[in-house]
């Protein structure tokens, strides 16, 4: 509880104590003994007003402020009218007094409000706590000694030192030292990650064992940690349909019930169907019950909880609308490389043309790929394992879905697939080995090809069967790779459908075609490398492996911090659970309200029942909403 809430609680407790004392004095006839009749009535009026004002003086003020801002019908308005109305029943001296109810309604309303504020604060905090990844400082090395500075002050290329127990403040590359990194706060994964010289480290992880010297590759503002925090903070702005519906609903609902209450209070007595105090009281009770707070608060709270729960698993959802869309997914479309497969290719064979040195073919490929981040490029450079002298590369261009074209030592080098060769009128040799084929052409003549192979990720098969088990009807793979490779992967993983040899543009077309036949929503899962257009075209774009790729975080609606496809089924489960809770709350809250409203209208429910109904429903709905936050890894 924060300070404000503690003060609030004290006020409520004090008011409750006074309230029950007054009630005891009243009921035991002490007031009547001292003040006589009708003095006791006025005494109790004044006495009940004390706890009312202590606990609830700001509610009428808030109602008044909102009216002046043009937002007349909110819950503080309903509560103000109902409670003041109850006190005003004193103008009907012939009827039972209702001051006690007036004060009680305000008191319990405040108890509910406090609980709400506590619950919201708690869930918000738990996302923040879970996302407690923001570093406070960076140790920068200057003139041989260490200084602690604000992470904002560190420049790209500075050397920072991260001691065991400290958080990595900025993305960079290890230049010295080896250690284990705890990435749990980012990915939900508890197995530490080993890093040593040359490895990339990502901000937000905790250094566990050794001292690391890291050369920064980004500014703090562009580092993973800053981008993730920004994303989480903005998540509540993107509202789900259900949330917007509730807001709109409350906007029309409150004036309607206010007028209904007015009608109940006025029409029947005018028609001579009963006494004024009787019907006015029914109208006031009606007002208390109709307060929509349970709905207004519990629905956003459930989404909040769902987003928080997902982020505990390393699944970042950019808004409740995406959680809602995800819960209705029945088709999942995957990119292959880096998504279902690890994206780290091994060189299986190098088939050079007669008179060409295979090592030369590999080195030219590595040079041509020097500036590419494509998984193929990264793997080829790894396999080449030599230094690349960038001055020898005059020009290099990536042709998306084809390969690369570069000028090296003044010679035109092409590295890529059949399509690239065909586009440049180079004839090539086919290869019988199953694998991804990288043709290499130099100055328009064919030099040979490199066969590379990728492995499917450990959990890819599990991921597909989990999705099927979760009721996803179709799992489809799209790839720019050869048909044979695609076929082998599709068979191994149990995919329902696959399409090979697609250019990035073709993937968009395929997704549009699939969208036409899908009954539910379509999710596309990619690694963000040249599939950004598809990520945005799908109903839900899921990017994986945010621990590295900027493109992924930008283009996607949901980001999986880990690059594990099995997290998709988990994300869908969290989304469905959240939506179940949202719907439960809506049905429960509206159901109970309608019931008590009906009872109030016919005069069976009194104000006591009304206020307990209102606060009770709100508390139950909030507790239910908080369930969305608790998630299991499996
Ligand atoms: P995927 O659909 O499997 O993710 P991409 O669309 O990224 O694959 O690439 C499709 C194909 O284009 C690759 O299989 C490869 O043949 C070729 N290709 C793309 N980028 C490169 C590159 N940088 N170097 C060589 N070949 C590439
Ligand atoms: Mg790809």
Residue of 436, 479, 543 best suited for mutating to test ligand 1, as the one with most atoms within 8 Å of CB:
479
Q: Which atom of ligand 1 is nearest to the CA of 482?
A: 14
Chosen domain end from 417, 433, 455? 455
Residue 76, pLDDT > 60, answer yes
Bond before 252 cis per omega within 30 degrees: no
- 160 part of a folded domain: yes
Q: Write phi, then psi, for 344 (nearest 5 degrees).
A: -105, 105
β-strand partners of 398: 404
> pLDDT-derived band of residue 95, with 50, 70 and 90 as boundaries?
confident
382 closest CA partner among 421, 354, 342, 419? 342
* Ligand 2 centre distance from Cα of residue 399 (Å): 13
Residue 426, pLDDT > 90, answer yes
Residue 182 token pair: 């705890």
Cα(490)–Cα(499) distance, rounded to whole angstroms?
A: 10
- 373 part of a folded domain: yes
Chosen domain end from 432, 455, 478? 455
> pLDDT-derived band of residue 239, with 50, 70 and 90 as boundaries?
confident
Q: Coil, helix or strand for 140?
A: strand
Residue of 362, 367, 417 best suited for mutating to test ligand 1, as the one with most atoms within 8 Å of CB:
417
- 41 part of a folded domain: no
Closest Cα to atom 16 of ligand 1 = 417
Question: How do 497-499 and 474-478 pair as beta strands?
Answer: parallel
- 48 part of a folded domain: no
Chosen domain end from 218, 244, 269? 218
Length of the chain: 634
- Identify whether 357 is a catalytic site residue: no
* Ligand 1 centre distance from Cα of residue 463 (Å): 23
Cα(7)–Cα(13) distance, rounded to whole angstroms?
A: 10
Residue 101 token pair: 């109810």
Please state at what angle helix 320-327 crosses helix 566-601, rounded to 10 degrees: 100
Shortest-distance ligand to the CA of residue 504? 1
Chain segment 275-317, per-residue pLDDT in tens: 888 888 888 888 888 777 778 788 888 998 898 888 888 888 9
As for ligand 1, residues whose beta carbon falls within 6 Å of it are 335-337, 369, 372, 374, 376-377, 398, 401-404, 415-417, 436, 438, 479-481, 504, 530
DSSP designation for 91: G
Residue 18 token pair: 């006074």
Q: What is the pLDDT of residue 547?
A: 61
- 445 part of a folded domain: yes
Chain segment 542-601, per-residue pLDDT in tens: 998 766 566 667 788 999 888 889 999 999 999 999 999 999 999 998 898 888 888 877
Tell me how far apart the terminal alpha carbons of the chain are, to the nearest angstrom.
32
Q: Which atom of ligand 1 is nearest to the CA of 529?
A: 7
Q: How many domains does the chain have?
A: 2
Residue 370 belongs to domain with CATH number: 3.40.1110.10
* Other Cβ atoms closer than 10 A to 75: 23
- 182 part of a folded domain: yes
In three-state form (DSSP H/G/I as H, E/B as E, the rest C), the secondary structure along 535-550 is HHHCCEEEEECCCCCH
- 503 part of a folded domain: no
Residue 272 token pair: 């001579």
Task: Work out the mean pLDDT of the chain and round it to a whole number.
Answer: 88
Q: What is the pLDDT of residue 125?
A: 65
> pLDDT-derived band of residue 126, with 50, 70 and 90 as boundaries?
low
Q: What is the pLDDT of residue 228?
A: 77
Residue 59 token pair: 């509610």
Residue 100, pLDDT > 80, answer yes
Highest-confidence segment of 40-44, 379-383, 528-532:
379-383
pTM summary value: 0.82
- 124 part of a folded domain: no
> pLDDT-derived band of residue 373, with 50, 70 and 90 as boundaries?
confident
Q: What is the pLDDT of residue 55?
A: 92
Cα(473)–Cα(467) distance, rounded to whole angstroms?
A: 8
Residue 198 belongs to domain with CATH number: 2.70.150.10
In which domain, by residue range, is 365 found? 342-455
Catalytic-labelled residue, pool 171, 335, 563, 614: 335
Q: Which atom of ligand 1 is nearest to the CA of 504?
A: 6
């Amino acid at each position: 509880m924060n300070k404000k809430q503690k003060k609030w609680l004290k006020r409520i407790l004090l008011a409750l104590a006074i309230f029950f004392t007054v009630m005891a004095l009243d009921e035991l006839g002490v007031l009547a003994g001292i003040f006589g009749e009708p003095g006791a009535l006025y005494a109790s009026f004044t006495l009940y007003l004390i706890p009312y004002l202590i606990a609830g003086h700001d509610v009428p003020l808030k109602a008044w402020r909102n009216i002046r801002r043009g937002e007349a019908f909110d819950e503080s308005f309903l509560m103000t009218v109902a409670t003041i109305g109850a006190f005003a029943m004193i103008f009907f001296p012939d009827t039972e007094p209702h001051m006690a109810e007036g004060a009680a309604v305000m008191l319990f309303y405040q108890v509910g409000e406090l609980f709400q504020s506590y619950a919201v604060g708690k869930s918000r905090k738990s996302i923040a706590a879970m996302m407690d990844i923001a570093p406070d400082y960076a140790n920068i090395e200057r003139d041989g000694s260490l200084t602690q500075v604000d992470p904002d002050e560190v420049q790209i290329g500075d050397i920072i030192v991260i001691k065991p127990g400290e958080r990595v403040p900025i993305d960079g590359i290890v230049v010295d030292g080896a250690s284990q990194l705890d990435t749990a706060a980012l990915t939900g994964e508890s197995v530490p990650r080993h890093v040593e010289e040359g490895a990339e480290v990502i901000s937000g992880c905790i250094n566990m064992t050794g001292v690391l010297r890291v050369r920064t590759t980004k500014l703090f503002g562009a580092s993973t940690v800053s981008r993730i925090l920004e994303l989480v903070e903005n998540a509540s702005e993107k509202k789900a349909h259900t949330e917007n519906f509730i807001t709109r609903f409350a906007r029309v609902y409150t004036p309607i019930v206010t007028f209904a209450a007015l009608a109940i209070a006025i029409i029947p007595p005018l028609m001579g169907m009963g006494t004024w105090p009787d019907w006015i009281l029914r109208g006031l009770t009606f007002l208390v019950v109709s307060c929509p707070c349970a709905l207004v608060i519990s629905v956003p709270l459930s989404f909040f909880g769902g987003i928080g729960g997902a982020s505990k698993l390393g699944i970042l959802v950019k808004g409740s609308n995406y959680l809602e869309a995800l819960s209705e997914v029945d088709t999942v479309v995957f990119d292959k490389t880096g998504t279902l497969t690890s994206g780290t290719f091994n060189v299986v064979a190098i088939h050079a043309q007669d008179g060409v040195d295979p090592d030369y073919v590999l080195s030219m490929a590595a040079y041509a790929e020097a500036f590419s981040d494509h998984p193929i490029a990264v793997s080829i450079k790894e396999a080449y394992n030599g230094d690349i002298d960038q001055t020898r590369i005059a020009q290099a261009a990536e042709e998306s879905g084809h390969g690369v074209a570069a000028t090296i030592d003044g010679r035109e080098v092409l590295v890529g697939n059949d399509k690239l060769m065909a586009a440049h009128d180079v004839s090539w040799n086919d290869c019988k080995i199953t694998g991804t084929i990288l043709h290499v052409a130099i100055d328009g003549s064919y030099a040979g090809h490199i066969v590379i192979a990728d492995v499917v990720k450990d959990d890819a098969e599990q991921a597909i069967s989990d999705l099927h088990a979760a009721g996803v009807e179709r799992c489809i793979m799209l790839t720019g790779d050869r048909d044979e490779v695609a076929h082998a992967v599709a068979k191994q993983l149990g995919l329902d459908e696959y399409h090979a040899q697609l250019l990035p543009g073709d993937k968009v077309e395929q997704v549009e075609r699939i969208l036409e036949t899908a009954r539910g929503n379509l999710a596309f899962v990619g690694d963000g490398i040249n599939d950004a257009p598809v990520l945005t075209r799908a109903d839900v774009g899921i990017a994986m492996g945010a621990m590295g790729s900027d493109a992924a975080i930008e283009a996607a609606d949901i980001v999986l911090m880990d690059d594990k496809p099995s997290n998709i089924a988990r994300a869908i489960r969290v989304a469905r659970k959240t939506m179940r809770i949202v719907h439960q709350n809506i049905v429960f809250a509206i159901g109970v309200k309608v019931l008590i409203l009906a009872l109030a209208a016919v005069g069976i429910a009194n104000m006591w029942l009304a206020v307990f109904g209102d606060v009770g429903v709100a508390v139950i709905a909030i507790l239910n909403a908080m369930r969305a936050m608790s998630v299991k890894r499996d």
